[in-house]
């Protein structure tokens, strides 16, 4: 097992003492405060925690899309460059939390999937597009639709397809199945699990669904208010042997809605 | 259900004529809603969002909406004059969209949007509307309501965007709220807090709630009744607590596909879709 203390060598992705700050004065927010973790090649790592705790910001920081105030980010043993290189995007692809915003509104699904192939000089465009759409459970009839002509889950699958089509080594997945019904979610999770085994892909997965995280990841970080609450394992999630009160609260609350008393919140969690 | 229904929908159809053919998004949907929590679950693309949009008059062009009956609290939505509809929609009937960050106005702060929504439907001064907006942001458990008030939609997290949209849709005290995947980006503890607010509005104020979600566990524990949609139609209707004992093979299959913390089944079971389900 790899711990956060592992040196850059041997990690596919390493994040050390990351700080991200937005705004100044009254509007300043320390979105990420001193977060560190390392992900080995072929490993899958989860980020869970409070809404607004900085999970998406960490993924965006890896892609050079967030104002990093301090810390180091290394991919495959080398510190990332600013701006990120072409090779970076061949290696790292991200599925954004808001598929609507990340898909060009005036491009068809076909154009959306063809563009990265053209940028990176990959051939067999037609075949790759049809095969990748099939992987995410969309038939060829969707190829010439625009994003606004799709349902929420169909859009999310197009965003996943766009990331997969370049066959990257690292996939950053931000709530990739949150808009999918259980059957399509199962198909996408199986696909991601299979791709990881077959191609040795490395994942960082953000999800509020602990069962999804336990299915896809070996280890995870529990976050709150920009900070790490604890680093734990999928096995500990399943066994309920997590260390922090906050993680225990998350597990308890994931059993469904109850009209009884609110789940006891550890001190300091209740919103001010 | 007591008294006359809040909403009656009979044989609702939504179609899109595209160059490549016609998409039948909703194909003859009927249901009534009382002052209760009605869940709608169903496959991705089965017409859940388009059903909600049609009721609110938000079907995007060139979509075509037909129905035999569409009545909200005694008002016939098919024949009512535009003015009446404008007053109802966004005021007494509101909808939390599935993509909140992209349904919010990108060039206006979250706070201003809530203030504007309130003032469009209530005679209120700016100060009162501001107070009301603040209270709503607090109610949906924003950590720092004052900061969120001044942020633009692209500056909030996924879950904060969802809560901002919920705040905006509740600020007018609606009688009917259609919530399309309203908590899909929320961590489970904040999700419970937000559901508690909706629950209270239904229980104490008698609001009618249509709760669209793919989260079966949540729907079965939170809602009173559930409609299961498949390919634009309702294939099964039952009390929410009975979801685990569903009869339709699609619904049964859905329940089995869920990953759980209790058991590590790999690969996850998937559904073999039977063309006859689409009817
Ligand atoms: N462009 C921005 N400008 C200002 N603040 C921002 C910006 N982007 C993010 N933030 C702030 O950073 C904090 C963390 O946001 P982030 O999106 O990383 O949260 P998250 O953990 O992904 O939450 P969720 O689960 O709700 O998606 C929030 O307070 C958010 O308002
Ligand atoms: N503007 C449009 N033009 C053409 N087809 C559309 C349009 N909007 C939606 N559709 C199609 O209508 C069908 C129903 O869409 P809807 O958004 O209601 O699905 P949904 O049940 O909400 O799915 P999801 O769970 O994925 O959000 C889908 O097959 C979708 O592709
Ligand atoms: Mg996020
Ligand atoms: Mg939808």
Region of poorest pLDDT, from A46-60, B30-44, B94-108? B94-108
- Please tell me the distance in Å from A40's CA to the nearest CA on chain B: 22
Point out the residue among A51, A145, A210 whose CB comes nearest to the CB of B159. Answer: A51
For chain A, the structural domain boundaries read 13-253
Select from B157, B164, B181, B194 the residue to mutate for testing ligand 1; criterion: most ligand atoms less than 8 Å from CB: B157
Express each pLDDT in B157-177 by its tens digit. 999 999 999 999 999 999 999
Residues 193-212 of A with CB under 8 A from B: 193-194, 208, 210-212
Residues of chain B with pLDDT > 70, as a percent, come to 99
Structure confidence at residue B217 as a pLDDT band (50, 70, 90): confident
pLDDT at B99: 87
Q: What is the mean pLDDT of residues B72-89?
A: 95
Given a cut of 70, is residue B126 above it in pLDDT?
Answer: yes
Cβ <8 Å between A249 and B189: yes
What 3 state SS string does chain A have? CCCCCCCCCCCCEEEEEEEEEECCHHHCEEEEEEEEEEECCCCEEEEEECCCCCHHHHHHHHCCCCCEEEEEEEECCEECCCCCCHHHHHHEEEECCCHHHHCCCCCCHHHHHHHHHHHCCCCCHHHHHHHHHHHCCCCHHHCCCCHHHCCHHHHHHHHHHHHHCCCCCEEEEECCCCCCCHHHHHHHHHHHHHHHHHHCCEEEEECCCHHHHHHHCCEEEEEECCEEEEEEEHHHHHHCCCCCHHHHHHHHHCCCCCCCCCCCCCCCCCCC
Residues 153-172 of A with CB under 8 A from B: 153-154, 157
- Please tell me the distance in Å from A7's CA to the nearest CA on chain B: 31
B4 Cβ neighbours under 8 A, 6+ residues apart: B74
pLDDT at B88: 95
Paired sense of beta strands A92-95 and A44-49, if any: unpaired
Cβ <8 Å between A56 and B218: no
pLDDT at A9: 60
- Taking a C-beta distance cutoff of 8 angstroms, is the pair B96, B182 a contact? yes
The residue of chain A with its CA nearest to that of B264 is A215
Given a cut of 90, is residue A261 above it in pLDDT?
Answer: no
Cβ <8 Å between A50 and B190: yes
Point out the residue among A29, A153, A249 whose CB comes nearest to the CB of B147. Answer: A29
User: Could you tell me which CATH number the domain at B1-84+177-188+208-279 has?
Assistant: 3.40.50.300
pLDDT at B271: 86
Given a cut of 50, is residue A38 above it in pLDDT?
Answer: yes
CATH class of the region A13-253: alpha beta
B182 lines ligand 2 (CB under 6 A): no
Residues of chain A with pLDDT > 90, as a percent, come to 79
Mean pLDDT of all residues belonging to chain B:
93
Which position has the higher pLDDT, A264 or B276? B276
User: Ligand 1: residues within 6 Å at CB?
Assistant: A 22-23, 29, 31, 51-57, 97; B 155-160, 185
Given a cut of 50, is residue B93 above it in pLDDT?
Answer: yes
Mean pLDDT of all residues belonging to chain A:
90
Size of interface A-B (CB pairs under 8 A): 187
pLDDT at B52: 97
pLDDT at A6: 43
Given a cut of 90, is residue A262 above it in pLDDT?
Answer: no
Cβ-based contacts of B156 with chain A (< 8 Å): 52
Tell whether ipTM is more than 0.90.
yes
Determine contact: A183 vs chain B, CB below 8 A. yes
What's the B99 CA to ligand 3 centre distance in angstroms?
13
Q: Which residues of B190-221 are buried (b: 16+ CB within 10 A; e: fewer)?
A: bbbbbbbebbebbeeeebbbbbbbbbbbbbbb
Residue A227 CA: which ligand is closest? 1
B98 lines ligand 2 (CB under 6 A): yes
Please give the DSSP secondary-structure letter assigned to residue B83.
H
Given a cut of 50, is residue A33 above it in pLDDT?
Answer: yes
CB-based neighbours (< 5 A) of ligand 3, an ion = A 56, 97; B 157-158
Point out the residue among B192, B218, B254 whose CB comes nearest to the CB of A263. Answer: B192
The residue of chain B with its CA nearest to that of A96 is B158
pTM over 0.90: yes
Determine contact: A98 vs chain B, CB below 8 A. yes
Q: What is the mean pLDDT of residues A177-195?
A: 91
The residue of chain A with its CA nearest to that of B18 is A145
Cβ <8 Å between A254 and B185: no
What's the A87 CA to ligand 2 centre distance in angstroms?
36
CATH 3.40.50.300 domain locations along chain B: 1-84+177-188+208-279
The residue of chain A with its CA nearest to that of B229 is A181
Given a cut of 70, is residue B114 above it in pLDDT?
Answer: yes
pLDDT at A96: 92
Cβ <8 Å between A214 and B259: yes
Express each pLDDT in A87-129 by its tens digit. 999 999 999 998 777 899 999 999 999 999 999 999 999 999 9
Cβ <8 Å between A238 and B262: yes
Q: Which residues of B224-235 are buried (b: 16+ CB within 10 A; e: fewer)?
A: bbbbbbbbbbbb
Express each pLDDT in B234-262 by its tens digit. 999 999 989 888 889 989 888 889 999 99
């Amino acid at each position: 097992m790899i711990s956060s203390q592992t040196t850059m060598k041997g990690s596919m992705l390493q994040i050390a003492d990351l700080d991200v700050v937005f705004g100044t004065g009254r509007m300043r927010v320390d979105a990420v405060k001193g977060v560190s973790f390392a992900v080995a090649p072929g490993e899958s790592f989860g980020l869970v925690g409070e809404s607004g705790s900085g999970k998406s910001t960490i993924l965006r920081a890896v892609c050079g899309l967030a104002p990093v105030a301090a810390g180091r980010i290394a991919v495959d043993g080398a510190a990332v460059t600013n701006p990120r290189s072409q090779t970076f995007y061949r290696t790292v692809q991200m599925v954004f939390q808001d598929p609507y915003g990340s898909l060009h509104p005036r491009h068809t699904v076909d154009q959306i999937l063809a563009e990265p192939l053209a940028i990176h000089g990959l051939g067999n465009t037609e075949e790759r597009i049809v095969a990748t759409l099939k992987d995410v459970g969309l038939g060829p009839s969707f190829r010439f639709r625009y994003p606004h002509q799709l349902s929420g889950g169909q859009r999310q699958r197009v965003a996943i397809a766009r990331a997969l089509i370049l066959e990257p080594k690292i996939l950053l997945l931000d709530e990739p199945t949150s808009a999918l019904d259980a059957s399509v979610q199962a198909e996408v999770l199986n696909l991601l699990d299979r791709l990881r085994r077959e191609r040795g892909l490395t994942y960082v997965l953000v999800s509020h669904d602990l069962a999804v995280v336990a299915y896809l990841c070996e280890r995870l970080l529990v976050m709150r208010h920009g900070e790490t609450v604890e680093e734990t394992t999928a096995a500990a999630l399943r066994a309920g042997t997590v260390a922090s009160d906050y993680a225990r609260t998350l597990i308890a609350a994931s059993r469904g809605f109850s009209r009884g008393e609110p789940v006891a919140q550890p001190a300091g969690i209740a919103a001010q | 259900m007591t008294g006359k229904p809040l909403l009656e929908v009979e044989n609702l159809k939504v179609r899109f004529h595209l160059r490549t053919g016609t998409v039948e998004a909703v194909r003859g949907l009927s249901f009534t809603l009382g002052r209760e929590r009605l869940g709608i679950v169903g496959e991705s693309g089965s017409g859940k969002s388009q059903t909600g949009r049609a009721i609110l008059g938000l079907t995007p062009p060139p979509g075509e909406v037909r129905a035999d009956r569409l009545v909200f609290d005694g008002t016939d939505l098919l024949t009512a004059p535009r003015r009446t509809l404008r007053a109802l929609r966004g005021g007494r009937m509101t909808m939390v969209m599935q993509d909140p960050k992209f349904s919010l106005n990108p060039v206006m702060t979250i706070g201003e949007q809530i203030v504007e929504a309130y003032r469009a439907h209530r005679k209120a001064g700016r100060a009162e509307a501001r107070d009301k907006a603040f209270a709503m942001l607090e109610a949906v458990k924003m950590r720092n309501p004052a900061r969120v008030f001044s942020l633009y939609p692209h500056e909030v997290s996924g879950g904060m965007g969802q809560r901002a949209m919920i705040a905006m849709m509740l600020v007018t005290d609606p009688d009917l709220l259609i919530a399309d995947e309203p908590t899909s980006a929320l961590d489970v503890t904040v999700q419970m807090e937000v559901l508690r607010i909706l629950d209270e509005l239904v229980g104490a104020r008698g609001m009618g709630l249509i709760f669209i979600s793919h989260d079966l566990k949540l729907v079965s524990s939170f809602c009173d009744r559930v409609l299961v949609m498949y390919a634009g139609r309702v294939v099964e209707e039952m009390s929410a607590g009975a979801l685990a004992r569903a009869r339709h093979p699609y619904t049964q299959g859905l329940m089995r596909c869920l990953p759980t913390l209790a058991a590590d089944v790999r690969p996850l079971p998937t559904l073999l879709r039977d063309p006859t389900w689409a009817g």
